Amino acid sequence: MIKADRLTMHYGPVQALKDVSFEVKQGEIVGLLGPNGAGKSTTMKVLTTYLHPTKGTAFVGGIDVLKDPLGVRKIIGYLPEILPLYMDMEVRGYLTFVGKARGLSGGRLKERIDVALDECGLRPMYRKVIRELSKGYKQRTALAQALIHDPSIIILDEPTSGLDPHQIVEIRQLIKNLAAGKTVILSTHILQEVEATADRIVIISNGRIVGDGTIDELRDEVKKEERIRVSVSGDKTETQRLLSGMSGARKVEPIAGESGFAAFMVHGAPGAQLWKEVGQLARLKNWEVRELSDHPLTLEETFLSLTERAASPAAKRAES
């Protein structure tokens, strides 16, 4: 449904995008993740035909964004980071205006306004002036305008920016509900946002794609070790010594645990069956095992590893 093909973008001497390529399949929710200034919004603006790339192109719903930008705009719903709202209009007037601009009229316009109001939880605010709405309801109103024409593709740029935790959860759930039968791409720099919402993640850093896959696939890409959490009964010092003596163990770090139990994070080489060695030790020493669990890389650790690797001197030499 969406295909970016070697997108390159220059703002004068600054290169914001460098051969960016990725795809979004029908029905997927894909998160475009990256630090501020990484090139996320520029990518979104190219996909929505607001900007022409310096090189490369993109296809949205099979339509080339350079050859038929109006065709692209007909099939997408776009929520930009800066909300496209007319503050002095009532919610109903604004949605009516956007619907007419989208070519809707008569019964179809009324039907789509009703659907957007219900899907976005705006019914109680229908006759309110937009300026008087809370930040969360302004965000919902902007999302409603993106949905008014029932687009097959929804593009969201920082959809929870500036919201409080309760509003973030509401908008996050709203996006997941709306994704049924639609293709969604959303950009954010908030790790928890993509972890809670997206089926797949594309990580962009310094204008380049540095990761593309599910969370588990990205973890496997940067995985350098196995990690398990262990909590057993016994003397802390002696237990750490015995765990450190396991053939697969590289490092054993004490961590906070419950009273009467010694807790550790055990690091080992990829493929090391640490859990098996711990189990054998526990039987041998008659330990009571409180916890023995895998502890994979967090999304934050995965993100930092991918972006730091891309920024390394070796990567920069390869790029040049």
Tell the residue number behind the tokens 């010694």, with chain if given: 262
Asked if 78 and 127 sit in the same domain, the reply is yes
Asked if 216 and 280 sit in the same domain, the reply is no
299 in a structural domain:
no
pLDDT of residue 31: 93
Three-class DSSP category at 65: coil
The answer to whether residues 279 and 291 touch, using CB atoms and an 8 Å cutoff, is no
pLDDT of residue 153: 95
pLDDT of residue 297: 81
181 in a structural domain:
yes
Q: What is the pTM (predicted TM-score) of this model?
A: 0.80
pLDDT of residue 310: 61
pLDDT of residue 320: 47
Q: What is the DSSP track for 240-253?
A: HHHHHTSTTEEEEE
Asked if 107 and 248 sit in the same domain, the reply is no
The answer to whether residues 192 and 162 touch, using CB atoms and an 8 Å cutoff, is no
137 in a structural domain:
yes
Q: Select from 173, 196, 220 the last residue of a domain.
A: 220
319 in a structural domain:
no
Q: Provide the residue range defining the domain that includes 279.
A: 225-294
pLDDT of residue 312: 55
Written as six digits, the tokens of 234 are 């016994």
Sequence letter at residue 209: I
Query: What's the number of domains the chain is made of?
Result: 2
The answer to whether residues 35 and 22 touch, using CB atoms and an 8 Å cutoff, is no
pLDDT of residue 317: 47
Q: What parts of the chain have a pLDDT lower than 50?
A: 313-314, 317-318, 320
